[in-house]
Amino acid sequence: MSSTRDLLTKLYEAAVAAAHPSTCLPPELPAPPETGRIVVLAAGKAAGATVEAVEAHYLDKLRLPKSRLTGIAVTRHGHGRPGRVIEVVEAGHPVPDAAGLAGAEKTLALADAAGADDLVLVLVSGGASANWIAPAEGISLAAKQAVTRQLLRCGANIGEINTVRKHLSRLKGGRLAARAHPARIVTLAISDVPGDDPSVIGSGPTVPDPSTLADARAIVARYGLDIPDEIKAALDNPANETPKPGDPAFADLDYRIVARPQDAFEQVEAKVRAQGLDCLLLGDRLEGEARTVAAQHAAIAKEFAAQNRRAVILSGGELTVTLRGKGRGGPNQEYVLALAAALDGMPGIAALAADTDGIDGGGGKADDPAGAFVDDTTLARARALGLDPAAFLADNDSTGFFERLGDLLRPGPTCTNINDFRAILVDR
């Protein structure tokens, strides 16, 4: 079991390393402006690490005077890194908090102050939507928190969640670009969303928004959300419509994705084949209910085992959990628990599912697990402890289940994020 777990862990670590800012960011950093400043506006789980990469590049490699570099980075609690010039703020995720509100206000003030000679360098990564919390006029932080909690619990996908967020914000959905205009804006993004859509990554703060207020209202209706009156009023207010293609703010748009799930999985696939194993990548943009997808993947793994194939089945994307119980967990842990139940102890199959940011759901604490392992001994060990997988699934308590077994993965914050990583090893 140890060698199997070691292999799965190394594959996870390879995916994380491929998307870390220290690896993917430096080759894409733009040249400094001739006379103006570089104003760094960063948000998301990788924001702290992007500050380290930016400061090393401009201050150490290019010897840029500190007076020409300024900015702020807002990241998740526990994901911060010390900045020498750029302020780093730790804030709430997935539910925004007052620290994120203060950080977003400073971000908007820096954007407003940027001049035509300045370069505004926007660094976006997964988690930016929660970290950059700038409610539209008339919306309180408490109301934003309430609607965020409902969106996270209802089973909506990330595109739907961000459509609502964008229409309740003074920063998201292209509005940050409008605030920084006419400065030159370069956005470098680490994608954590299926399909790598710039308007969804971090809720698209510097790109045109194709979604509408009507779309946001339809999502609220589709999931039967009981939203505060001030949210309803905001979604009915035409002033909260987002900038669309053709807006002058996007006339000189420079947007680049510096790391995406596909890049990471290509490197992982190479490592799998170097082990003499076949590799099947089911896709880097899977969505759906975690336990439903787990059942589908278990069927594929069983088929491989029946054929005596030695292989690793990889997949990424962002799965969801519709909460019905009161337990602890996240989509990756729930996926693994459902996978264990579906495999029913079938010999020669092991798996790992984990979030590449190092934290899977839970309460958003830095010491929450990233995911969990499963193998052909999982159910037998659970039964010996009197644990019923079905009961834990019904209570959405995957963390409680794997905690008892010692099968949680706890790498801590990785300071990047390309979303879910799943690997099923079939080797009888």
pLDDT bin (cut points 50, 70, 90) of residue 54 is very high
Q: What are the tens digits of pLDDT across the range 165-210?
A: 999 999 999 999 999 999 999 999 999 888 899 999 999 999 999 9
* Residue that terminates a domain, selected from 232, 259, 286: 259
Average pLDDT in the chain: 95
Residue 163 lies in a domain: no
Query: Does residue 185 fall inside a structural domain?
Result: yes
Per-residue DSSP letter, 28: G
Instruction: Tell me if 225 is assigned to some domain.
Output: no
CA distance linking residue 85 with residue 6, whole number of Å: 39
Look at residue 46 and tell me if it is in a domain: yes
Helix 158-166 with 141-153: angle, nearest 10 deg: 160
pLDDT at position 359: 92
The confidence score (pLDDT) of residue 151 equals 93
Structure confidence at residue 123 (pLDDT): 98
| Residue of higher predicted confidence among 2 and 217 | 217
What confidence category does residue 363 fall into, taking pLDDT thresholds of 50, 70 and 90?
A: low
CATH number at residue 82: 3.40.50.10180
Q: What is the pTM of this model?
A: 0.87
For the chain, the domain total comes to 2
Kindly state whether residues 204 and 336 are assigned to the same domain.
Answer: no
Confidence at residue 242, expressed as pLDDT on a 0 to 100 scale: 97
Does residue 276 share a domain with residue 178?
no
Predicted confidence at residue 325, as pLDDT, reads 87
Q: How confident is the model at residue 323 (pLDDT cuts 50, 70, 90)?
A: confident
**Continuous segment of H or E residues that includes residue 121:** strand 119-124
Specify the residue for token string 């408490």: 142
Q: Is residue 366 predicted with pLDDT exceeding 90?
A: no
The stretch 233-259 carries a mean pLDDT of: 94
Average pLDDT value for residue range 82-90: 96
- Mean pLDDT over 245-251 rounds to 90
Does the residue 147 lie in any domain?
no
Q: Which backbone phi and psi does 197 adopt, to 5 degrees?
A: -75, 115
Q: What is the mean pLDDT of residues 104-109?
A: 98
Range of the domain at 314: 2-12+262-426
State yes or no: pLDDT of 309 exceeds 70: yes
The 10s digit of each residue's pLDDT in 392-409 is: 999 999 999 999 999 999
- Given a contact cutoff of 8 angstroms between Cβ atoms, the answer to whether 356 and 414 are in contact is yes
- Is pLDDT at 333 greater than 60 in this prediction? yes
Residue 191 lies in a domain: yes
Whether 177 and 280 share a structural domain:
no
Give percent of the chain above pLDDT 70: 99
Q: At what angle do helices 398-405 and 331-343 cross, to 10 degrees?
A: 70
The lowest-confidence range among 84-98, 283-297, 354-368 is 354-368
Q: Does residue 291 sit in the same domain as residue 182? A: no
3-state secondary structure of 188: strand
Say whether both 7 and 71 belong to one domain.
no
Any domain includes 78: yes
